[in-house]
Amino acid sequence: GALSIRTIDKHSFRVGDHDIGSLGRKSRALVCYLAITETGEETRDRLVGLLWSETEEERARASLRQSLYEIREAFDAAGYDGLTSDRFRIGLDRSRIDVDLWNILDDAVAGIPHPILLQSERPIEKLLDEFETLDGAFQVWLAAKRQAIGDRLTRQFELLLRNDTKPL
């Protein structure tokens, strides 16, 4: 089945009717990070640097391995086998995930405001807000990611408005 990931406001992972709620905080952040990257994958070095930047490298790598084990166990129990990893990279099969953020961006391109954008003020500021204090490096990355996504949405809707208001 497909893995459904909610990254804005209340975070959740689901495969069909199966809610995956047993993951630790860094494991959840790791899955969300992979879900919102353009490629759906990242190097182990980058992930260690983002999620365990203040930890000695050997311990950080062991923590990453433990998180991967925890994620794989939870995904296997839910019937999702789209997590990939090798000695250098970790990824999610982008063809088998449904991510609210990507749906918002796709709707914006289609000229449709996604319901999440209409439910609260500044919803992009709630992107992965549960993980804001996880690690200093992650916090810096998250601030930049929110800004980039907000700018992307603004440009898209401005473009749609300009095209819609051209004189005949």
Alpha helices in the chain (DSSP H): 25-36, 44-51, 57-78, 100-109, 115-119, 136-164
> Angle at Cα 144 formed by Cα 130 and Cα 45, nearest 5°?
80
**101 and 36 Cβ atoms separated by less than 8 Å:** yes
Q: For position 168, what pLDDT does the model report?
A: 44
User: Tokens at residue 35, please?
Assistant: 């879900």
Determine how many CB atoms are found less than 10 A away from the CB of residue 9.
15
Per-residue model confidence (pLDDT) at position 10: 80
Intervals of the chain under pLDDT 50: 168
Q: Are strands 83-85 and 97-99 parallel, antiparallel or unpaired?
A: unpaired
User: Each residue of 15-28: pLDDT tens digit?
Assistant: 998 999 889 999 99
Say what the pLDDT of residue 22 is.
Answer: 85
d(CA 162, CA 67) in angstroms, rounded, equals 46
CB 139 within 8 A of CB 132: yes
**What pLDDT is attached to residue 63?**
98
